[in-house]
Homo-oligomer: A and B are copies of this chain.
Amino acid sequence: MSYRASIVSFPEIKEPLLNKRTSRDKNKIMTPAPFDACDLEGLDTPETLPEIPDVSQVETIRHFTRLSRLNFGIDQGMYPLGSCTMKHNPRICEEIASKMARIHPADDMAMSGILEKVFELSGYLEEICGMDASTLWPAAGAHGELTAIMIIKKALYIRGEPRRTVLIPDTAHGTNPASCAVAGFRTVNIPSGDDGMLKASILKEYLDGDVAGLMITNPNTLGIFENEIRAIAAMLHENGSYLYMDGANLNAIMGITRPGDMGVDIMHLNLHKTFGTPHGGGGPGSGPVLVKKGLVPFLPLPDITHTDNRFSLGWNRDTSIGMVHSSTGNMAVLIKALTYIYSLGAFGIRQAATMACINANYLRARLSPMFNLPYPGATLHEFVLSDRDQGKNQVTTMDMAKALMDYGFHPPTVYFPLVVHGAIMIEPTETEPLEELERFAQAMQAIAETAQEHQESLHNNPVTCPCERVDEVWAARNLVLTWDME
């Protein structure tokens, strides 16, 4: 296969579980011992040692180093996970965030400096989104959604209109309905139009006095800009409902168009997407919520207040929904996002969105001759292919995703959004050079060709990875979730 030319291997050691290496007193760490032993007065402390592996420092370091080498990160190659905005994570952000490691939240003096910075960040986010105020504490996108939906709920409650329904387009991310459910709303699924857009005309049919709001994603998960959004907003507002925007896809439009100007009342951002902070293999992220003036009174506690250049947390917001986090969210992630904004500046923000969309459209132009593009309208930062054509040869999206691994890529997002059969959702981001886009296009082309000629071989990928396809059904059936269950 052609990928042999550019893909090589290296001997990697497959690690056993660390409990397999444990042996009494192998660990020779010296932990700090500044104090002398004394009587613990009534504290019940069994003599047994806590049950964690007893291994040497060398083994721990080798274990996690070896494991890391079985992982794919952005620095290895393109990671075109649609909806996830896997862009380059600048190292300066990590460096700066590490400087705050030893600041305790009770250290008022040090915290003043940090709060000043994150307050500055919230101003920039509001400016980029055209919103009036924000809270930075939600720890991820879904947490932001939940916070936002609670704000809507509270606003309606205070208004004396406890509506119970939230409308959600069929292209929405799973967290949207789930967040509504947690907040005690009932959700109603709205079909998109044939062109993949939400239609004011369709929406109209769903509006009634129980509709608290609509959760829209713009551009939506097909990468399409919702061009009726202003009409939709007006229609909602007339109905006394709120327009919520899932800002996970802001990378397509930042600096280009502003949700606030579209009529959005409330929205969340994913800093770990748009603002270049790392995904950390699953988190921590950060999901600030931004609101228009009318919703400010309901933002969570605390807010940030300042007098004479001293910044501190404020607790006086009577109608707040309350606290959503035990502290103030993922502070280090916030500082990384601010560092990212400092790096880019206004011009860089716009440039990022522009190149994100150009890179995506380049790939779309390169791939659409070989793959079915179910929604042929204009797209921005991502686009969604289907496996219709390859499916005819019994080659599925899953097959193609796994084959991409053997070419040194992380696969795109697959089987989402649900409106596309065997969806392949591709978001290259602005930080890919043309050469890497082209390497991807050629890999996809080779896969498309293989799907026609040697389709059986595609059922066997990946072949260069630490394991072949993992049996997820076996895992769910056997449920071995700890080494004790093994």
Which candidate, A1-9, A104-112, A190-198, A229-237, is the interface stretch facing chain B? A1-9
CB distance A13 to B88 under 8 Å? no
State whether A432 and B65 are in contact (beta carbons under 8 Å apart), knowing that A7-B12, A14-B7, A467-B8 are contacts in the complex. no
Check A464/B10 contact, CB under 8 A, given A21-B433, A75-B61. Answer: yes
Residues in B neighbouring A329, C-beta threshold 8 A: none
Q: Which residues of B contact A21 (CB under 8 A)?
A: 433, 435
Size of A's binding interface in residues, CB under 8 A: 44
Supposing A58-B433, A62-B77, A65-B75 touch, asked if A10 and B88 sit within 8 A by C-beta, the answer is no
Complex formed: what's the CA distance from A131 to B154 in Å? Answer: 78
Distance in angstroms from A101 CB to nearest chain B CB is 12
Q: How far is the CA of A106 from the CA of B73 in the complex (A)?
A: 42
- Residue A57 lies at the interface, judged by CB distance under 8 Å to chain B: yes
Cβ–Cβ < 8 Å partners of A118 in chain B: none
In the complex, which residues 1-56 of chain A have their Cβ closer than 8 Å to any Cβ of chain B? Answer: 6-14, 21, 26, 30, 56
Q: Which of A419-449 contact B (CB under 8 A)?
A: 431-433, 435
Interface string of A330-346 (1 = CB under 8 A from B): 00000000000001000
Cβ-defined contact, B70 with A11, below 8 A = no
A406 proximal to B (CB < 8 A): yes
List the B residue with the shortest CB-CB distance to A66: B76
Question: Using an 8 Å CB-CB cutoff, how does the interface string of A59-99 with B read, 1 for contact, 0 for none?
Answer: 10110011001101101110000000000101100000000
Q: How far is the CB of A403 from chain B (nearest CB, A)?
A: 11
CB-based nearest B residue for A26: B433
Q: Is A407 close to B, CB under 8 A?
A: yes
- Judging by beta carbons under 8 Å apart, are B65 and A9 in contact? no
Q: Is the CB of A76 within 8 A of B65?
A: yes
Which chain B residues border A26 with CB–CB below 8 Å? Answer: 433
Q: What B residues does A76 contact at CB under 8 A?
A: 13, 62, 65-66, 69
- In this assembly, does A462 line the interface, its C-beta being within 8 Å of a C-beta of chain B? yes
Query: What chain B residues lie within 8 Å of A130 (beta carbons)?
Result: none
Tell me, yes or no, whether A398 is within 8 Å of chain B by CB: no
- A57-B90, A88-B57 in contact; A77/B13 too (CB < 8 A)? yes
Q: Tell whether A182 is near chain B: CB-to-CB under 8 Å.
A: no
Q: Name the contact of A88 in the complex, choosing from B11, B58, B467 (C-beta under 8 A).
A: B58
Nearest-neighbour CB distance to chain B for A417, whole angstroms, equals 28
Q: Are B70 and A10 in contact (CB under 8 A)?
A: yes
Query: How many whole Å from A439's CB to the nearest CB in chain B?
Result: 9
Give residues 328-366 of A contacting B (CB, 8 Å).
343
Tell me the nearest residue of chain B to A88, going by C-beta.
B58
Chain B residues contacting A6 (CB-CB under 8 Å) are 13-14
On chain B, the residues within 8 Å of A65 by CB distance are 73, 75-76
Closest 5 CB pairs of A and B: A9-B9, A65-B75, A8-B466, A11-B464, A13-B408
11 contacts between A and B (CB under 8 A): A8-B467, A10-B466, A11-B405, A11-B407, A13-B76, A21-B435, A59-B433, A61-B75, A62-B77, A66-B77, A69-B76
Beyond A7-B11, A11-B405, A11-B406: 11 further Cβ-contacts under 8 Å?
Answer: A6-B13, A7-B13, A9-B464, A10-B69, A11-B408, A26-B433, A56-B433, A57-B90, A61-B88, A62-B76, A62-B77
